[in-house]
Amino acid sequence: MNKNQYLAAWQASHGAPAMKVISIFLTIVFYVSTFFIKLKLKPNHITILGGLVGLTAAALFAAEFWLLAAFVAVLSSLLDGVDGAVAEITGQKSKFGALLDVTIDRIVEISLILVLAAGGASFESVTSAALAILILEYIRAKANSLGITGPGKITIAERPTRVVMFAMLSVGVWVIGLDNLLLTIGAWTLTAFTAIGVIQLFFCFADQLRHNSSR
């Protein structure tokens, strides 16, 4: 499978063409995936590796290595795309792999949010961010259980965006120092973006359900 075939497969599974910025990300993912394929790593191994890298980012933030934490967080997001790409390219997609992927994703994301709380972000802001993320992903899972295939609309608050926001916040802390207000604003910003994503995804799936029921 070449790059164009991979992009076409991604678009088919997501039901829509990728925006320019997503296409750039997917192109990077494709070429990184070819490296892991040469190493003969299976998608589930990459999923676990990405999870460990994500948890390392959280640990680095807690240890006040903020710039390194930002870099490692972005790396974990890249690996989160690579495991799916390797599965697609090599024909190793599985239901267990999908379950493993979403489980590790949630563990890593909650860990990243918890270190914001440990750093001084307000309880309300980090709780709201965590709940918004869980609601968004629950809507997607519930829609799939109702027979809708695919992830639905690519919202403004998908996991890569959320991880990049954490990385940007980590860089901000590196620049100005650990500040409770900065962390709280960052957590509330994450909440707001994710809330918009929840609305986008809900109405996308609601429209599909209405369309299917009218047939």
Instruction: Measure the CA dihedral 149/106/103/101, to 10°.
Output: 60
- Please state the pTM of the whole predicted model: 0.90
Q: Tell me the C-alpha distance between 90 and 92, whole Å.
A: 6
Q: Please report the pLDDT score of residue 214 as a whole number.
A: 57
Token pair, residue 171, equals 């860089």
Is 116 within 8 Å of 73 (Cβ atoms)?
no
What's CA 110's distance to the chain center, in Å? 12
pLDDT for 32: 92
d(CA 133, CA 164): 14
Please report, in tens digits, the pLDDT of each residue of the chain (215 residues total): 788 888 888 777 776 666 777 888 888 999 999 999 999 999 999 999 999 999 999 999 999 999 999 999 999 999 999 999 999 899 898 989 999 999 999 999 999 999 999 999 999 999 999 999 999 999 999 998 888 877 878 889 999 999 999 999 999 999 999 899 999 999 999 999 999 999 999 999 998 888 776 55
At residue 72, the pLDDT reads: 97
CA dihedral sign, ordered 163, 168, 173, 174: positive
The Cβ of residue 108 has, within 10 Å, a number of other Cβ atoms equal to: 25
DSSP string, 51-119: HHHHHHHHHHHHTT-HHHHHHHHHHHHHHHHHHHHHHHHHT---HHHHHHHHHHHHHHHHHHHHHHHHH
Q: Which domains does the chain have, with CATH numbers?
A: 3-213 (1.20.120.1760)
Give the model's pLDDT for residue 187: 96
How high is the pLDDT of residue 210?
84
